[in-house]
Structure 1
Amino acid sequence: MPRVLIVEDEPRLAQLLADYLTHSRFQADQTASVREAERLVRAGGYQAVLLDLMLPDGDGMELCKTIRRFSQVPILMITARVEEVDRLLGLEIGADDYICKPFSPREVVARVKAVLRRSLATEQEAGSGLELDRHRFEAVCQSARVALTAIEFELLATLAKQPGRIWSRDQLMDVIYPDHRVVSDRTIDSHIRKLRRKLGEGLPGDHDWIGSVYGVGYRLQTRPEDDTDEDE
C-alpha cells in the first residue's frame, strides 16, 4: 500500500483526508508539526506528502524547500491561499501540485494518484529495462526485483536521472546527507558497494550497473558496452 503523509493542523480535515485515502487503498499517516513531518520524510517510505502551508510551528513553503534538499517525494500543497503568486511560488520551490481550500476529498485522492503515476513514469525512464519502484523501494529489470534501503534507492534514483553521467562523491553525499553531517568521504563508497552487489546478484545481465571513474565518481551503466569500470 502506498504511504501518504498528511501534514495538516485541522484534525477533522486531516482525518477526513486519511479516511478517503485509506478507502482508496493508501496508508495515511498524520502530523501537524513541521519538525515531525521533516523527521518522518527523512526516515523514508512515503510515496507522497499532502502539505498544508499554515502550520503551528512553521511554514509549509519552508518545509517544502527543506524536503527538496534531500528527497524528490511528490509534494501536494494544500492551502487557503488562492492568490496566483502563492500558487506559482509553491510550484517553483518544488511542489508537484497545488490544491486550494475548499476542495473535495475525492479530488485530493485523484490528484495524489495522478502525481504518483507521473512520478512512477519518470522513474521508469532509467533506460535499458531498469525501473525504479518507489512504492516498494525496489529496482526492477525483466521482472526481477531487488529490495533496497532508502539510502540505496535514493542513490540509484539519482544516478538513473542521467544514465552515463558521472556523479561525484560530494554530489551524492548531498543527496543522502543534506544536513551536511560529518561522515567519512568513503561512506558513499560503502553504500555503492552494497548497491552494486545487490544489483549484480539480483538483476539479469553480465555487466555492472554502476561504474566508477577513478578520482571522479560514479555513474549508471545501462548497457554492457558501457563497462569501463575503474576501481576507486
Structure 2
Amino acid sequence: MTDQESQRRQEDSPRRQRAEAKRDPTEWHGHRIVTETDLGAVFEEDDAARRRRSSMRRIRHGVVLVVLVGLVAAGVVVALGLARGDISLGSAEAIPKPTSTCPTGPFDYQDPSAITVNVYNSTTIDGLAGAAAEQLRSRAFAVRDIGNREGGSSARTAIIVSGEGGRANAFTVQRAFPDSIYVADEREDRTVDVILGTAYAGLVPPERVDITPAGLTCAPEDGATPTPSPAPTAP
C-alpha cells in the first residue's frame, strides 16, 4: 500500500465514522440519545419498590380494618353485658352486715313508680340482675343501676338495702321478693338496693303481693329463717 493510499484511508476514517453516526438513531452530534429501553432499565428497580410500598399500604389498611371491626364487636358485647347486668364497670361493694335491730314500722306500701331501685347480682348466674330488673320495671319500679356486687352467693332470694329515709320504700320492694331480708346502711337518699342470691327464682305474683302495713323482715342473729318484725302495739 502506497503512502498516498494510506493517507487517503486516514482521511476517510473520520468521515466514515460521522456517516455511521448519522445512520445510528441513538447518536446525535456525537451525543447518545436516551431511549425507552435505557429508561426502563434505570427505573425498573424504582417501579418494583413502588409496587412493594403499595402492597405494604394495602396490608396495613387491612390490619387497621380488622382491628376496628374487633373493637366495634367488643363494644357491642360489653354494651349487651351491661344491659343484662352481667358486667359492672363500677367497683363492687361488699354486702352490708345485718343490723342488730330491725325497723318495726309499720310502713305503708308505697307507689312503685316513686321508688328508685338498684339491682345487683351476688351469684355466678349470668343475667340474674337483668332479668329481675325487667320484672321490676314491668311493675312500674324505677330501676337505675344494674350490675354485680361482691359478698358471696347468698342462699337467700335477695337482700334489700336502704338508708333510714328509704325504709318505707324498702318495705314495698321487699314485698315483691319472697323470703328476702332487710339490711340498713348509711345512705341519705331514699333509693333501695336489691342484692340477689342463688335462691332467687322470680318476684311474688302481682295478685299475691301483701300491701298490708307492717315492719321489715330482717335476718335474726341466730341465723334462723327470718321473720317479720312485729308491729308496735297500740297503747
TM over 0.5: no
Which structure shows the bigger proportion of residues in strand conformation? 1
Q: Work out which of the two has the higher radius of gyration on C-alpha atoms and give 1 or 2.
A: 2
Give the structure-2-normalised TM-score: 0.26
Relative contact order, higher structure (CA 8 A, sep 6+): 2
